[in-house]
Structure 1
Amino acid sequence: MRVSVIIPAWNLWEMTAACLRSLAECSIGEDLEVLVVDNGSTDATTRELEPLGQRLWGADFRALRLPENLGFAKACNLGARAADGDLLFFLNNDTTCTPGWLPPLRAAFEDARLGAAGPLLLYPDGTAQHCGVTFSPFCKVSHLYEHFPGNHPVLRKKRPLQAITGAALVIRREVFAECGGFFEGYQNGFEDLDLCYALTDRGYSLTVAGESVLYHHTSQTPGRFEYDLQNSRLFYQRRVQNIQADMHCLARLDGYEMRIGPTLSCWLALPEAQERELGAAFSGTDFDAAACAAQLEREPLWRGGWLLLMDQLEAEGKRREALAAGVRAMHFFSQPDVRNRLLRLLRKAGLHEQMAQFARGIEEYMQAARKDEPSRRVLVQRARRKAYADGDTYLAGLLGHWLERYGKTDADA
Structure 2
Amino acid sequence: MDEAAVRATILIPNWNGEAFIVPCVSSALQAAREHRRITGEEIEVLVVDDASTDRSVERLRRDCPAARLLQRECNGGFAEAVNEGAQAARGELLVLLNSDMAVQPGWLAPLLAPLTEANVFAVTAKTVDWAAGAPNHLNMTARFERGQFVLEYSSPPQACRTLFFQGGCTALRREVFLAAGGFPSLYHPGYWEDYDLSLRAIKAGWRIIYEPRAVAHHLGKASLSARYGDASIRLLSERNRLLFTWTNLSGAGPRMRHWLGLPGGIARDIARGGGAVRLRAFLAAARR
Which range, TM-score by smaller chain? 0.7 to 0.9
Residues 326-364 of structure 1, C-alpha deviations (whole Å, 9 max, x = no match): xxxxxxxxxxxxxxxxxxxxxxxxxxxxxxxxxxxxx98
CA distance in 2, matches of 1:365, 1:158: 41
User: Which of 191, 196, 199 lines up with 2:198 in the alignment?
Assistant: 196
How far residue 22 of structure 1 moved from its aligned partner, in angstroms, is 1.8
Tell me the CA shift for residue 218 of structure 1: 5.7
CA shift in 2, pair 1:364/1:80, >3 Å: same
Runs of 4+ in structure 1 deviating by more than 4 angstroms, as ranges, are none
Q: Is the strand fraction higher in 1 or 2?
A: 2
How much has 1:39 moved relative to structure 2?
0.9
Partner of 2:243: 234
Structure with greater helix share of residues = 1
Contact between 1:133 and 1:141, CA under 8 Å: does it hold in 2?
no
CA distance change for structure 1 residues 217 and 46 in 2, over 3 Å: closer, same or farther? Answer: closer
Query: What is the one-letter code of the residue matched to 1:168?
Result: C
For 2:30, the equivalent position in structure 1 comes to: 25
TM-score normalised by L of structure 2: 0.75
Q: How does 1:302-321 map to 2 (within 5 A)?
A: none
Identity in percent: 28
| Deviation (angstroms), 1:102 | 0.7
Distance in 1 (alpha carbons) for counterparts of 2:160 and 2:17: 35
1:111 aligns with 2:117: yes
Q: 1:39 to 1:163 in 2, by over 3 A?
A: same
Larger radius of gyration: 1
Distance 1:166 1:141 in 2: 18
Aligned to 2:166: 165
Secondary structure of 1:35's aligned partner: strand
Cα separation, 1, equivalents of 2:124 and 2:110: 10
Aligned length: 241
Shift of the 109–69 alpha-carbon distance from structure 1 to 2, 3 Å rule, reads: same
CA distance in structure 1 between the aligned counterparts of 2:150 and 2:21, rounded to whole angstroms:
28
1:128 aligns with 2:130: no
Gaps of 5+ in 1: 146-153, 246-262, 265-362, 373-413
The alignment yields a C-alpha RMSD, in angstroms, of 2.7
The superposition leaves residues 239-287 of structure 1 with CA deviations (integer Å, 9 ceiling, x where unpaired) of 1229xx9xxxxxxxxxxxxxxxxx99xxxxxxxxxxxxxxxxxxxxxxx
- Which of 73, 81, 88 lines up with 2:87 in the alignment? 81
Q: Distance in 2 between matches of 1:18 and 1:70?
A: 24
1:95 correspondence with 2:101: yes
Cα deviation, residue 173, structure 1: 1.3
- Offset, 1:368: 4.8
What is the match of residue 37 of structure 1? 48
Conserved? CA contact 2:159–2:210, under 8 Å: yes
The residue that corresponds to 2:282 in the other structure is none
Q: Taking structure 1 as reference, are residues 241 and 162 closer, same or farther at Cα in structure 2, changes over 3 Å only?
A: farther
Structure 1 residues 50 and 194: alpha-carbon distance in aligned structure 2, compared to 1, 3 A threshold: same
* Displacement after TM superposition at 1:367 (Å): 4.1
Aligned match of 1:15 in 20, 26, 31?
A: 20
Greater displacement, 175-184 / 91-100:
175-184
Q: Could you tell me how far 1:108 is from its partner in structure 2?
A: 1.2
The answer to whether the Cα contact below 8 Å between 2:144 and 2:150 also exists between their aligned partners in 1 is no
Alignment equivalent of 1:52, drawn from 63, 71, 74: 63
User: Is this contact kept in 2: 1:190–1:231, CA < 8 A?
Assistant: yes
State the distance in 1 between where 2:219 and 2:34 align: 26
Structure 2, unpaired ranges of 5+? 1-5, 36-41, 255-263, 279-288
**Structure 2 counterpart SS, 1:109:** helix
What is the alpha-carbon distance in structure 2 between the residues aligned to residue 127 and residue 168 of structure 1?
16
Cα offsets for 1:304-333 (capped at 9, x unmatched): xxxxxxxxxxxxxxxxxxxxxxxxxxxxxx
Q: TM-score, normalization: structure 1?
A: 0.54
Tell me, yes or no, if the aligned pair for 1:27 and 1:99 is still in contact at 8 Å.
no
Displacement, 1:219? 4.4
Show CA shifts across 1:154-197 (max 9, x none): 53233332212111111111111221111122211111011101
Alignment-derived partner of residue 4 in structure 1:
9
Shift of 1:86: 1.3
Q: 2:201 touches 2:207 (CA, 8 Å); kept in 1?
A: yes
Check whether the contact 1:131–1:143 (CA below 8 A) recurs between aligned residues. Answer: no
- Bigger RCO of structures 1 and 2 (CA < 8 A, at least 6 apart): 2
Aligned equivalents of 1:239, 1:112: Cα separation in 2:
25
- Once the two structures are superposed, the pairs formed by residues 281-360 of structure 1 within 5 Å of their partners are none
**AA in 1 matched with 2:228:** G
C-alpha contact 1:132 1:165 (8 A) present in aligned 2:
no
Q: Distance in 1 between matches of 2:68 and 2:110?
A: 25
1:356 aligned residue: none
Deviation of 1:41 after TM superposition, in Å, equals 0.6
